[in-house]
Structure 1
């Protein structure tokens, strides 16, 4: 989890020592366990493991964790919009689920983190990320997370890979490892501002596999799924892997931090 090291100290300060809401900075933040029942269940409970040690750790966490958002700000955000589907092969679709919409204040936070490496926005984005329910039946022994890859040119230009950082935190939260068997080989332009047809055309032959995955359950992840074109292209590449027999295809899920806009 070397992705987490440069950012962990700031996250600890935000989540455990800062008692103010990360969004409004007015009200006291609320621990995850005190939020609505739906959201609070999405964070794995250490006490579920039924050992005295983990129960003590859980009690310690509940006592000292102040959370990231106040109840009002948390409830002002629309969580878990309806999933949508995209076609990947004949007779096969990919369901894409997002934690929230790409609206204010999440849109501004994503842009600041993604384009300016503003680490003050990362705690809010991780709060959003934690709303995603882990796919049913997926765990660390039978599944991997595939973060949307970037090109070497973009990585050099930006200086860091925001999607891989978010995916590393999702990996830690779900206890499912990352898999880096897909490379992005295109020199396409940014997807922003393109129509759906232009996005798909822009992503032709954008990905290549370096090796087959050791497991058959692959969870695709991107930061923003506007039309789902990037996740669709990635899923098509995995579905067309010539090293996988037709009766032994990958099982694919797709998740994003944010989807489109509800306006």
Structure 2
């Protein structure tokens, strides 16, 4: 029997039973299909993953259809009210960092690292406050699905953490978020990258210090199964961590130097994050 993560039950309760807004806790959450469609990042939940493959007799089809309709309506429900959704639904412009000669890594974040997302991320990441996960999941679902990527040709690589940090923190917050994104996009996670235990925390470092700190920080432990890779991190402040991970994938997968970009171009790497920068900056 498949063992569920310890947070999954609480997440289901928040998403499918608790109909109050997960941010203000006052208003009812609004189905995403009823939210204004002017925002380019708006998306709904893929309901195919919850549909049953069971076969029914003709006289049962009507009841099953109604049941499926109710489930789809609930799965299309948002976790925030309209007002709170619009208070955070600011899809930042994507930015790029170089990972090889003539090759850039595009990075798209779901929102800005501002209040209340900043406080929610910090509470979830550093204090294991799972009550913030529904809010973060709502924000995560605003990310547009990568064009041309699907479960047969792509994988998601969550920013690896060190064993030392995992033991100290007790859980991997980026992996928790990546698992939810994997389920939403229906693109599998791949854990074939290891982070070496010789780097310090990136918090408070300049961009140059971040890049230097991440030299040789990642190593592939398995052969990459596909040529489309989606990198994911919770917060992309300068993009240095995603840049270092992208460079490691290019150089170690191809076995070439980053200057031999004509072969590296056979691989398509993009990056996504929950939050980036500040809307006021």
Say whether the 8 Å CA contact 1:3–1:165 is kept in structure 2.
no
Whether 1:259 and 2:276 are equivalent positions in the alignment is yes
Shift in Å, 1:40: 4.5
Say whether the 8 Å CA contact 2:41–2:144 is kept in structure 1.
no
Say whether the 8 Å CA contact 2:161–2:172 is kept in structure 1.
yes
Q: Specify the alignment match of 2:263 in structure 1.
A: 247
- Count of residues in correspondence between the two structures: 260
Q: Which has the larger radius of gyration?
A: 2
Distance in structure 2 (CA, Å) of the matches to 1:3 and 1:153: 25
Q: Specify the alignment match of 1:207 in structure 2.
A: 218
Q: Which stretch of structure 1 is more off in the superposition, 221-230 or 71-80?
A: 71-80
Q: Specify the alignment match of 1:11 in structure 2.
A: 11
Change over 3 Å in CA distance of 1:79–1:42 after alignment to 2: farther
Whether 1:110 and 2:124 are equivalent positions in the alignment is no
For residues 101-139 of structure 1, what are the alpha-carbon distances to aligned partners after superposition, in whole Å with 9 as ceiling and x for unaligned?
000000000000000000000000000111111100000
With structure 2 as the length reference, what TM-score do the two structures score?
0.86
With structure 1 as the length reference, what TM-score do the two structures score?
0.91
Which aligned pairs between 1:177-192 and structure 2 lie closer than 5 A?
A: 177-192=188-203
Shift in Å, 1:187: 2.2
Q: Specify the alignment match of 1:125 in structure 2.
A: 136
Whether 1:59 and 2:48 are equivalent positions in the alignment is no
Q: Specify the alignment match of 2:177 in structure 1.
A: 166
Whether 1:30 and 2:41 are equivalent positions in the alignment is no
Change over 3 Å in CA distance of 1:16–1:210 after alignment to 2: same
For residues 132-158 of structure 1, what are the alpha-carbon distances to aligned partners after superposition, in whole Å with 9 as ceiling and x for unaligned?
111000000000000000000000000
Q: Specify the alignment match of 2:106 in structure 1.
A: 95
Change over 3 Å in CA distance of 1:242–1:219 after alignment to 2: closer
RMSD: 2.4
Q: Specify the alignment match of 2:58 in structure 1.
A: none
Q: Specify the alignment match of 1:41 in structure 2.
A: 43
For residues 216-244 of structure 1, what are the alpha-carbon distances to aligned partners after superposition, in whole Å with 9 as ceiling and x for unaligned?
00000000000000000000001102555
Shift in Å, 1:212: 2.0
Distance in structure 2 (CA, Å) of the matches to 1:217 and 1:85: 17
Change over 3 Å in CA distance of 1:22–1:220 after alignment to 2: same
Say whether the 8 Å CA contact 1:191–1:199 is kept in structure 2.
yes
Distance in structure 2 (CA, Å) of the matches to 1:255 and 1:54: 36
For residues 64-100 of structure 1, what are the alpha-carbon distances to aligned partners after superposition, in whole Å with 9 as ceiling and x for unaligned?
8653100000011143210000011111100000000
Shift in Å, 1:262: 1.6
Q: Which stretch of structure 1 is more off in the superposition, 51-60 or 122-131?
A: 51-60
Shift in Å, 1:63: 5.0
Which aligned pairs between 1:139-158 and structure 2 lie closer than 5 A?
A: 139-158=150-169
Change over 3 Å in CA distance of 1:40–1:225 after alignment to 2: closer
Q: Which runs of 5+ in 1 are unaligned?
A: none
Distance in structure 1 (CA, Å) of the matches to 2:269 and 2:167: 30
Q: Specify the alignment match of 1:176 in structure 2.
A: 187
